[in-house]
Amino acid sequence: MSNSTIEAVMGYDPNEGASIFFTIMFGLLLMFLTAQIYTQAKRFTEEHPYVKSKKLKISNIPILLGVLVYFVSCILRCASISKGKSMGLNQMINLYVAENVLLYVAPTFYSVTVLLYFEFIIHWLDFTDLQNKFTFRFFFYSDMIARILQIVGSSNLSSNYHAGSSVLVAGLFVQIALFSYFIFLQVKFNQHHYLTSNKDIAAHIKMFSINFATMSVLIIIRNIIRVIGYLAHRGNYLNVQEWVFYVFTTLPLFLIPFIFGIINCKYNIFSFKTLVLEKTAREQEDSQTMEEQV
């Protein structure tokens, strides 16, 4: 297969060096997050052997799967570029479609971990105003519907670009609305750190809010750029420039778990749960002391 055929499938002549670089970066990020989360989970279990922590541990698995999925997508991209010339057209198209499906799936795993974190926190601290406005199932299923629309639309771009792009854009708009609402919830969530007397808990709330909002903003920016690209004609500038793909798709999907990992070093769900347990124990002791005084 010639370079011109590869370019016809991808929309541009891809740079092999860039694909290898991001494959290495996602591989390193996956190892870093896996070691970090495993260490934190193990330490929490050792320090609190009688506390049920299965849900806490499971909540961290999706973001690891998201990085793994995108890592595999990067590997497929490298394969399609390096071996594209020796492949048949159908093989190249199938590899490209598989790469793109994984690209759409990866962010869903990111959002699952963030949504689970958010649900845990507002219930542990009994933030009633947020509990009435947020349910994990609503956000999860809405995000899934948006991803499915994007996958269906993407798979039909080659056969019917207008119909495929219309379905894909609909999915993007659903996500833009969903994460815009989630940012609104983050503003209200962040306000609680001013109302919390415990400084450590307040600091965790603030950093979690930054983490959640960062993910939402990056996804919204990425989706807006993609909407502009798909609403224009097929060969418009945004769709035929490889740097656009790396800056507005690959980079955000790298930054989300990277920022998560940096913040997670000190402000993580296990350390937050420890603070909540200590807060509950102190409240029980104070209550018992007051009863004895009476």
- Please check whether residue 293 lies inside any domain of the structure: no
Q: Looking at residue 291, what is its pLDDT?
A: 63
Instruction: Give the structural domain span for 9.
Output: 3-272
CB 117 within 8 A of CB 269: yes
Say how far apart CA 166 and CA 188 lie, in whole Å. Answer: 34
- Please check whether residue 71 lies inside any domain of the structure: yes
Q: Looking at residue 1, what is its pLDDT?
A: 47
Which tens digit of pLDDT belongs to each residue from 60-76? 999 999 999 999 999 98
- Please check whether residue 65 lies inside any domain of the structure: yes
132 DSSP 8-state letter = T
Phi and psi dihedrals of 156, rounded to 5?
-105, 5
Q: Crossing angle for the helix pair 54-82 and 89-124, nearest 10 degrees?
A: 160
Q: What pTM does this model have? A: 0.88
Q: Looking at residue 135, what is its pLDDT?
A: 85
What is the domain count for the chain?
1
Q: Looking at residue 65, what is its pLDDT?
A: 96
- Please check whether residue 243 lies inside any domain of the structure: yes
Q: Looking at residue 87, what is its pLDDT?
A: 66
Helices (H), 83-160: 89-124, 128-131, 136-155
**SS3 state of residue 52:** coil
Q: Looking at residue 5, what is its pLDDT?
A: 59
Sign of dihedral through CA atoms 230, 235, 241, 245? Answer: positive
Name the residue type at position 120.
F
What H or E segment, with its residue span, contains residue 259? helix 251-264
Q: Within the chain, which residues score under 50 in pLDDT? A: 1-2
- Please check whether residue 290 lies inside any domain of the structure: no
- Please check whether residue 173 lies inside any domain of the structure: yes
CB 143 within 8 A of CB 151: no
Q: Of 151, 131, 146, whose CA–CA distance to 179 is shortest? A: 146
- Please check whether residue 215 lies inside any domain of the structure: yes
**SS3 state of residue 199:** helix
- Please check whether residue 282 lies inside any domain of the structure: no
**SS3 state of residue 47:** helix
Residue corresponding to tokens 């963030």: 114
Q: Crossing angle for the helix pair 54-82 and 3-10, nearest 10 degrees?
A: 140
Q: Return the CATH number at 98.
A: 1.20.1070
Phi and psi dihedrals of 157, rounded to 5?
-65, -40
Say how far apart CA 107 and CA 73 lie, in whole Å. Answer: 12
Say how far apart CA 221 and CA 107 lie, in whole Å. Answer: 14
